[in-house]
Amino acid sequence: MVGASRREGSIGRQVVANLVASGFDGPVYPVNAKADVVQSIPAYKSVKDIPGPVDLAVLVVPPDAVLTVAEQCGKKGIKGLVVVTAGFKEIGGEGAEREAKLCRIAARHQMRVIGPNCMGVINTETGVSLNATFAATLPEPGAVAMVSQSGALGEAILADACAAGLGVSMFASVGNRADVTAADLVEFWGGAPDVKVILLYIESFGDPQRFVEVARRVGRSKPIIAIKAGRSAQGAAAAGSHTGAVAGADVAADTMLSQAGVLRVVSFREMFALAAALLNQPVPQGRRVAVVTNAGGPGILATDALVGSGLEMAELTPSTQSRLAKALPAEAALHNPIDLIASADAARYRKALRPVVADPRVDGLLVLFVSPIMIDAVAVAEAIVEETVDKGKPVMACVMGRQRGKEALNLLTQNGIPVFRYPEDAAATLAAMVRRRELLDRRRGRRPEFKVDRAAAERALGRAEGWLAAERAEALLAAYGVPFVEGRRVSSPNDAVTAALDLGMPVVLKGESAKLVHKSEEGAVVTGLDTSEDVHAAAQDLIRRLRRKYRDLTLHVQARAKGHREVLLGMTRDPRHGPLFAAGLGGTHVEVLRDVAFRIAPMDSRDPQAMFRSLHGAPLLDAFRGEPAADIKAAGDVLLRIQQLVLDFPQIEEVEVNPFILGARGGVAVDARVHVRS
C-alpha cells in the first residue's frame, strides 16, 4: 500500500483502514516516506525496503510519483498494480503521456494494472478477504461480481447492492482502463467458481469485438447484466444516407450488447432486482405468465405491465380451470389474472397456486398480495413459498399496501422470491429473464464466405473518395454478387428511347448526379413509362429541369423491377463499434417509418432473416392481402455479401441499397449509394 497516509480523511488512510478492516489474510505493508507507523502498522520508506514478497501494490501517491513507484514495484517482482491516483489520460496532455509511460513500465515488468484513476478492487472470497478501495461500504460476501468504469458510481453501486441484499464476490473499479478492461474481468470471472452473476457499469468499450467474443462465451454459463451510459458519437458521414439517419447515436452500443448476449438494463434498481432474480430463480422456458392476485386493480395493472414488456398472459388448461373452480369461491376470477378476491387467506392462495404452478401452459408466475388487515400476511407468504419454490418456474411477488410488519416480506426474500412493490418492476424483471432464456436458446450460425470478384471491386473503387458515382457504386456491389435491375446510362432522349426498347417496356427513368442525394425528392425518378413517346418526353423534361443545377446529369433507364416489396439494406461504420448493418422496410419513407433492425459485425447466416422478422412491419413481408410472402432470404443474402465487402475494404464507410425490391423469389437492387473515406 504505497501512499499510506496518516492524515484524517485522506484516501491513503481510508485504503489502509479498509485493507485492515476487511480481515485480509496476508500481510499489509504501508509505505510512507515520512511516517514510521501507519494505523498501528510499521511502515516502510519505499517499496524497496519491504522484506517479504508482495503480490499486489495499491498506489495512492501523487501523480508525478506514480511512475517511479511503479518502476520500483516492477523491480521488486510485484505482478499486480492498482493505481488509484488520478491525473492521467482523463486530463489529456501530460496525463496521457504519463499513462502511456505507466503502460510501458508495466509491460516491461509483466505487471497487470487496474486503473489509473480508479476506486480499487474488492475480493471477498474466503482465504482472500481483500478490500483495496476507499469505499465506505464493505460488502457481504456473495455471488455477484461487478465492474464499474466510474469510481464515484462504484461506491454507490456497492452500497445499493448491499442494500438490495446482494453479496459481492469481487468488485473492480477500472478507471481509465490503461491495461485491465471490463472484457478481461468478464473473462476472468467466467472461470471464478464463486461468481454467479456479472454486473457491468460501462461508459465505453475499448475493444468491442473482443468484448463481444468474451461476453458471448462467458454469458452462456453466467448472466451478464449491464448499464451502458453515454452515447457513442456517430461519424459525420452518418446523415448522408437513410441508414445513418435512422441509426440513432446509441444504436451501435445497444446492438453490440444484445449480440454479445448481455442483458441491458436502464437503472441500478432494475439491475439489482434482475441479479437477485437470476441468482435465486430458474429462467422461464417461455413467455407465458400467470398472475395470481387478491385484488382486481393490481391484477389488471400487472396484466398491462406484462403484456407491455412483451410477455404473454398464460391461458390455463381446462383441467387447471376446473381445479380452480372447485377450490375458489364463486366471485373469484378463474381466468388469468386469477383473482382470489380480498377474503383470500393462506389456504386459498395454496389451493390456487398449486394447480397454476403445475400447469404446462404456465412458464412463470407473478403473485400479487395487497395486504388486508384481517388476513395473516405471514401465513400467505408461507403459502407462496411452499407452493412455488423449487417447482422449476420463476416466481415474483408483488406486495402492496400495509403488510403486517416486514416479516412477510423477509420470509419471501429469504426464500429467494424477489419481492417488488409495483407490478411494472416485477414485469420488467420477468421480461429480462425471458430474454436470458432466448439468449441461451440462441444458436449461432457461421459467417458465410461468398465467391466474389475482388479484383473487379478494387477496380470499381479505384482512387475514388466520398460518395461514389451511381455507376461505380453499382459496379462495386455487383462485384460482390449484389443483383441489380437491368439498366442503361445515356445522355440524350433519343438514346433513352433506344435503351427502353432494348430493355422492354415498362421502364423507369432517373436523373443521376453525384450531388443528387434523394432523387425522388427532386422529381428525378419517373416510373411507369410504357411507350417510346413517354420515355422521350420524360427524358426531355428531366434534362430541362435538372441539367442546369446538376452539370453531370446522366439519364438512367432501368427495367421495372418485378417484385412487390421494398426493403433497405445498409451499413454505416460506427467509429467505436465498427460496421453497423441495417435491414428494414425500404423505399422513400424510411426516415418516417424508422422500422429498421441493426447488427454489428460479424453477422452470421441467421442474422439477416432474424433482423427482418424483428421489424414492426414484419407482417408486410409475409403473405398479405393476396400477395405472396417476400423472399427475405434473398435480401438477407445480399446483406451478408455487403458484410463481406465492407470487411474486405475498410475504407468503405457507408453502403445503402434502397430499395432492394423483393418478389416471391429473389429480388433486385434499383438504387445504391456508397461512401468511401477520403
Q: Which is nearer to ligand ADP, 508 or 621 (CB)?
A: 508
Nearest distance from C-beta of residue 367 to ligand ADP, angstroms: 52
Q: Does 185 bind ligand ADP (CB under 6 A)?
A: no
Q: Strand runs (DSSP E) across 348-490, as ranges?
A: 364-370, 395-400, 419-420, 466-467, 487-490
When CB distances are held under 5 to 8 angstroms depending on the partner's kind, the choice from Mg ion, ligand ADP, none that residue 561 binds is ligand ADP
Q: Which is nearer to ligand ADP, 13 or 560 (CB)?
A: 560
Secondary element (H or E) of residue 636: helix 632-648
Q: Does 670 bind ligand ADP (CB under 6 A)?
A: yes
Query: Which part of the chain contacts ligand ADP (CB under 6 A), choosing from 146-154, 594-602, 624-632, 655-663?
Result: 655-663
When CB distances are held under 5 to 8 angstroms depending on the partner's kind, the choice from ligand ADP, Mg ion, none that residue 228 binds is none
Q: Which is nearer to Mg ion, 11 or 661 (CB)?
A: 661
Q: Does 388 bind Mg ion (CB under 5 A)?
A: no
When CB distances are held under 5 to 8 angstroms depending on the partner's kind, the choice from ligand ADP, Mg ion, none that residue 558 binds is ligand ADP
Q: Which is nearer to Mg ion, 359 or 671 (CB)?
A: 671
525-564: contacts with ligand ADP (CB under 6 A): 525, 527, 558, 560-561
Q: Which is nearer to ligand ADP, 301 or 524 (CB)?
A: 524
Q: Which is nearer to ligand ADP, 366 or 553 (CB)?
A: 553
CA 253 to chain centre: 6
Check if the beta carbon of residue 515 is closer than 8 Å to that of residue 470: no
Q: Does 485 bind ligand ADP (CB under 6 A)?
A: yes
When CB distances are held under 5 to 8 angstroms depending on the partner's kind, the choice from ligand ADP, Mg ion, none that residue 153 binds is none
Residue whose C-alpha cell reads 439519364 in the numeric block: 555
Separation CA 568–CA 279 (nearest Å)? 41
Separation CA 71–CA 64 (nearest Å)? 13
Check if the beta carbon of residue 563 is closer than 8 Å to that of residue 583: no
Nearest distance from C-beta of residue 656 to Mg ion, angstroms: 8
Q: Does 474 bind ligand ADP (CB under 6 A)?
A: no
Check if the beta carbon of residue 159 is closer than 8 Å to that of residue 174: no
In degrees rounded to 5, what are phi and psi of residue 293? Answer: -140, 165
Nearest distance from C-beta of residue 528 to ligand ADP, angstroms: 9
With DSSP H G I counted as helix, E B as strand and the rest as coil, what are the percentages for the chain, rounded to 5? 40, 20, 40
Nearest distance from C-beta of residue 620 to ligand ADP, angstroms: 14
- Cβ burial of 39 (10 Å; 0-12, 13-18, 19+) is middle
Nearest distance from C-beta of residue 669 to ligand ADP, angstroms: 9
Q: Which is nearer to ligand ADP, 115 or 570 (CB)?
A: 570
Q: Which is nearer to Mg ion, 394 or 587 (CB)?
A: 587
Q: How far is CA 316 from CA 181, 321, 608, in A?
A: 48, 6, 35
Nearest distance from C-beta of residue 470 to ligand ADP, angstroms: 9
Query: Which part of the chain contacts ligand ADP (CB under 6 A), choosing from 224-232, 311-319, 535-543, 656-664?
Result: 656-664
Q: Does 512 bind Mg ion (CB under 5 A)?
A: no
Q: Does 241 bind ligand ADP (CB under 6 A)?
A: no
Q: How many CB atoms lie within 10 A of CB 445?
A: 11
Helices (H) and strands (E) in the chain, counts: 23, 29
Q: Does 488 bind ligand ADP (CB under 6 A)?
A: no
Check if the beta carbon of residue 557 is closer than 8 Å to that of residue 499: yes
When CB distances are held under 5 to 8 angstroms depending on the partner's kind, the choice from Mg ion, ligand ADP, none that residue 631 binds is none
Cell of 188: 476472468
Separation CA 236–CA 159 (nearest Å)? 41
Residues 616-655, one symbol each (x = binds Mg ion by CB under 5 A, - = not), give ----------------------------------------
Q: What is the 3-state secondary structure (H, E, C) of 38-61?
A: ECCEECECCHHHCCCCCCEEEECC
390-449: contacts with ligand ADP (CB under 6 A): none
Q: How far is CA 350 from CA 12, 240, 284, 418, in A?
A: 56, 62, 21, 19
Q: Which is nearer to ligand ADP, 518 or 536 (CB)?
A: 518
Q: Which is nearer to ligand ADP, 570 or 659 (CB)?
A: 659
Given 221, 267, 491, 520, the residue binding ligand ADP (CB under 6 A): 520
Given 658, 661, 662, 674, the residue binding Mg ion (CB under 5 A): 658
Q: Does 671 bind Mg ion (CB under 5 A)?
A: yes
Return the ∠ at Cα 29 (arms to 28 and 35), rounded to 5°.
130
Query: Which part of the chain contacts Mg ion (CB under 5 A), choosing from 143-151, 313-321, 616-624, 670-678?
Result: 670-678
Nearest distance from C-beta of residue 541 to ligand ADP, angstroms: 16
When CB distances are held under 5 to 8 angstroms depending on the partner's kind, the choice from ligand ADP, Mg ion, none that residue 508 binds is ligand ADP
In degrees rounded to 5, what are phi and psi of residue 577? Answer: -105, 0
When CB distances are held under 5 to 8 angstroms depending on the partner's kind, the choice from Mg ion, ligand ADP, none that residue 607 binds is none
Q: Which is nearer to ligand ADP, 373 or 592 (CB)?
A: 592
DSSP class of 652: E
Cell of 640: 451478408
Q: Which is nearer to Mg ion, 278 or 524 (CB)?
A: 524
> What's the longest Cα–Cα distance across the chain?
101
When CB distances are held under 5 to 8 angstroms depending on the partner's kind, the choice from Mg ion, ligand ADP, none that residue 309 binds is none
Amino acid identity of 201? Y
Q: Which of 198, 227, 203, 230 is nearest to 214 (CA)?
A: 198
Residue whose CB is nearest to Mg ion in the complex, by number: 671
Q: Which of 331, 326, 339, 325 is nearest to 291 (CA)?
A: 339
Q: Does 508 bind ligand ADP (CB under 6 A)?
A: yes
Secondary element (H or E) of residue 268: helix 268-280
Return the SS3 of 538: helix
Check if the beta carbon of residue 308 is closer than 8 Å to that of residue 286: no
In DSSP notation, 336-384 reads: SSEE--TT--HHHHHHHHHHHHH-TT--EEEEEEE--TTS-HHHHHHHH
Q: Does 519 bind ligand ADP (CB under 6 A)?
A: yes
Q: Which is nearer to ligand ADP, 329 or 528 (CB)?
A: 528
Given 566, 574, 595, 653, the residue binding ligand ADP (CB under 6 A): 566
Q: Which is nearer to Mg ion, 243 or 429 (CB)?
A: 243
Q: Which residues contact ligand ADP (rule: CB under 6 A)?
A: 485, 508, 510, 518-520, 525, 527, 558, 560-561, 566, 587-588, 658-659, 661, 670-671
Interacting residues toward Mg ion by CB under 5 A: 658, 671
